[in-house]
Each structure stands twice: as structure tokens, then as C-alpha cells.
Structure 1
Amino acid sequence: MRPHAFLASLILAAATPALARGGPSGMLGTILEGFTFWAIAAGLFAGLAWSRSGRHLPARSLLVLSAVTLGFSWQFVLAGLLLGIPAGVALAVFSAAAYLKAGGLLRPRPEPSGQNPAGRRGRLTLVLRWLSASYLFWAVIACFNIKLLGFLAFPPTLLLDHGTITRFFPFILPPLGLALAITSLGTGLLAALQPRLRHAAPVIFNVGLLIAFLVCADLQRERLMRQALRNHPGIELDSASFLRSVLAHSDFGRSAHASFSENGKFYHWSYAAQDFVTAP
């Protein structure tokens, strides 16, 4: 399967847990989640189609349109949420997909005659490929839970965050830092030992980062839970993996990450508090 076809299949696969989980509370949140999901899918397919046409990306026009959508999102709150954010996501995914398709995602396309890969233009191409591959990868990952991971597709939404993500930072940042260190070292060594894989380094790095982060986050979860259970000896714990909790997260109908009952009280695990708290 071609890499871009795999990304498309991954987006379609993301619809299954998203629909099974249910949308965020309220009609507005549900519509925004749906619009953002389809903006990612539309941007990906449009970018691939544009690249196959052989035309160059209209970089200036895309920059202007992106600036307009960003300003629109800030100026008009309701319309910005429903139209501006999905439009900005679609433009970004379109640009990244078209750029990567034209330059080759895993294997490089032939360089134009006279272009020095080590020159200024070559370094700029390297930076743009890393940015495009990283953004496109995490935008696709966001499809698995737009409500929780939508900021990966549209990072400015972190400025509007009301605790949806930032309250989890004390738990997220340590395993993320460790995963970044491990993946950076591993990707660097692999590229040094296997020069033919250097062009695919952005893909290798991001896939490795995701896997390393999930493993480190689960180890962190288990360590914190063991510490919290010291005050509750003899408890049989019913717990879910970190990945399962992320996929199941929503504002309603959310299953407990880990739970137990003691002395007539029901406790559940809170990633924000990094402790077991009593259920309301």
C-alpha cells in the first residue's frame, strides 16, 4: 500500500472509534467535530489530487487564505468555530499533502538540475518536509478523537483551551519529554547507519514518537496508580490503558480510566489530579 493511501485509510479507520465514542456534548461541539474531521479528509484528498496534476503549489495564495481564515476565526467566534477552523485545517492539510506528494514521502523525487541539496534552498526543503510530514501525521492522529486531540490539527485552539488539554499537562509532559529524547536519538542513529532512510526520517520520527509516548505514558500511569493505591491495600483494580482512555474520552458517557470500590465509596482515576478521586 502506498504511504498516502495508508494515511487515507487511517483517516477512514478513525471514524469507527469516533462514532462509537459519540461526539462532544452539545450540538455545536458535535458539528465542529464533524466539520474538522471532514476538513482533514478533504484537505488530504485534494492535496494528493493537486500534486498529481503536476501544478506547483500557489504558496502566496495559500498563505493569504490561511491568514484570512485565522483572522476570521478570532473575529467571529461562532462562525469562526464552525467555518474558520475547519477551513484553516483543510488548507494546512492540503498544503502538507501536496508538498509531500510532490517531493516524495519516503523516497526522494529527482532534484531539479542545478539545485544543491546542501544549499540554502535544500535546507529550506528539508525543514518544510519535516514540518509538513509532522503536521500531516498528527492531523491524521487527531481524527481518532477530534474533541480531545483537535489541537493537533489546529494548534491555535490551545489559546482557547478551558482546561480540556492543559489540565493534563502535568501528566503528559514527563512521558512526552522522555519519548522525544528516545525518538530523537533513535532516528538520528538510524539515519546515520542507514543513509538511504534519511528522506523518510520525518515519518520514522513521528511514528516512533507516537509509539514511545504511548509506552512511556502507560508506564507513568502504572507507576502513579501503584503509588496512589498504597493507601488502599488489597484493592482489585479495573483499569484501561492510556490509549484506550484517549480514544474513549468525551464529555458524556465516559468510562472510568481505572476504578474500584471501597467502604461503600466509588473511586476513579483522574489524569488531571494524577490520583484516585471519589466519584460524584
Structure 2
Amino acid sequence: MSLLEVHDLAVSYDGRRALHGVSLSVEPGEVVAVVGGSGSGKSTTAHALIGLLPANATLDAGRILFGENDLAGWSQHRLRAVRGSQIGLVPQDPANSLDPVKSIGAQLGEVLRIHGERDRRTIRTRVLDLLARVGLPDPETRARQYPHELSGGMRQRVLIAAAIALRPRLIIADEPTSALDVTVQRRVLDLIDDLRAEYGTAVLLVTHDLGVAAVRSDRVVVMRTAAWSSGARRPRSWPRPGSTTRSGCWTTRPPCRRGPSGSPVKGGPPSWCATWSRSSASGGARSARWTARPSR
């Protein structure tokens, strides 16, 4: 049984359909990458899964099956019991996601208090353990500091600490490295990998970076103009595809050594959803298969 299954998700902003026909699944312990250009609906999908859409957005249709529960019909009150304890979120921008007037320790402690922990000594010990676990030096000092006193990479590690505080079964990482330089990006992604291996947590990784998706994920979901193309098993190297969306993703990638020049993806929302899969054969050989089916 899949940990998370999403079927035909549809979201509107101010009455205008912004997301339609999105379906994906996440198995226990695996990493599924959601890739696509700006405005393709990646973050909207991630936030819709845990009921964090803005006030002008509505969830119009679809099912969000988390275990045996359909979260799509849940109230905000019921969803609060799931956020953090069962599903953790690593937001996109660490500078705007932390409260500037609360210390780091107070913000991590709040996560524990919201979910029932009341003993101050236990909370303090747990906060220091979390800061140490995500690789922050001198946890006691960091706990007393405020967000503006930390670097971007440190703030991102604090958000990861908050996401894993209650050891959720699924972590949604929404562009967790978009505001970081390349070397810090790698450290943060390595940290997420280590924590996944340690706790057995599944990860839904939202990214616009095909390189990150190829290296860090088990499966890839490609979104384009608020529709989706889902796949199983990412490749070691991306195959040259034939459809408009897939060839557009290929040709617009940053060239390495030699390669075709970038060109925009043309056309409106597709009338199909493509599936990409990789199967392992004897001797470690791998093959890629593309199929298509009508979308709704």
C-alpha cells in the first residue's frame, strides 16, 4: 500500500483553475521528485496536500490518500494533527519561513508543544538534539540566536530540524535549496538523504533542477502548465524524449560540453499524461520506457 496517493487533484485561485488532473504516489521510504518550470504548479501541489493553500485558493476536486485517510475532505483542525507529526514540510524560503522575533530554540520548541509535549526540560533537550542532528555547531548557542544571526544554510537546517522533530512518515521539501549556493545545496541534500536513511521517512522533493531530481530521487513527476506527467524510476542519464514536453525539458536544460541550444516549450496544457519508468535487468542494465495515456 502506498504511503501517499493523489488522484486527479484540481485547485483554483479566485475561481480560475490553476491545477488540474494531478495524480502521483509516494511509497514508504522512497524519494519522489516533482520537477517543472516556474508556474507549473509544483508548490501549489505540495501545499494542497497538507491544506496550506492561501485564502484565495480552493481545492476543487481530487483525492489525497495518506494511508487509509482522504485528507482532501479534512478540516483545518483535523489537518493540524497530521502536519508535523505525520507529514513534515521544509518550506521554500528560510528567510521568510522563520519568525524573526523568536529565537531558534523557541520556534523548534513550539513544534513539540503544539503536539503535546509540556515538560520544559524535555523540550530543551530535544531541541538541542535536533540542532545537533542537522549538523549545526554549538547547538546551545544556536538555540539562543535569532534567524537573522544565522546564514542561509543554517536557517535551512533549522527548517529541516522542525520538519523531522516528530519523525513524520513523509517530508515535503518545497525547493529546499533554491536560495542557497551550490556547495550549501549539496550539504542540505546530503542531510535530507541521511535523515531519510536513518528514519525511513519518504520524501516528496519539489525542485526545478533536473540534475537534483536525477541524482536524488527514486521516481520523477514532471509538471507542465498545471498538468502532470508521472514516472517510475529515474534514469542515470536523461533519455532523449520525443514528445513536446519531454523534448522541451531536454533542450532547455543547461548545456554540458556540447548539446542542443535551449528552446522554450510551446503550446498549451497537454491532453495527455506521460509515464516514464526505469526497470532494472540482470547485470545492472537499465532501460527507460515512455508511455502515454489521456488526461482528464
Q: TM-score, normalised by structure 2?
A: 0.24
Larger Rg: 1
> Which of the two has greater strand per residue?
2
> Which of the two has greater helix per residue?
1
Q: TM-score, normalised by structure 1?
A: 0.25
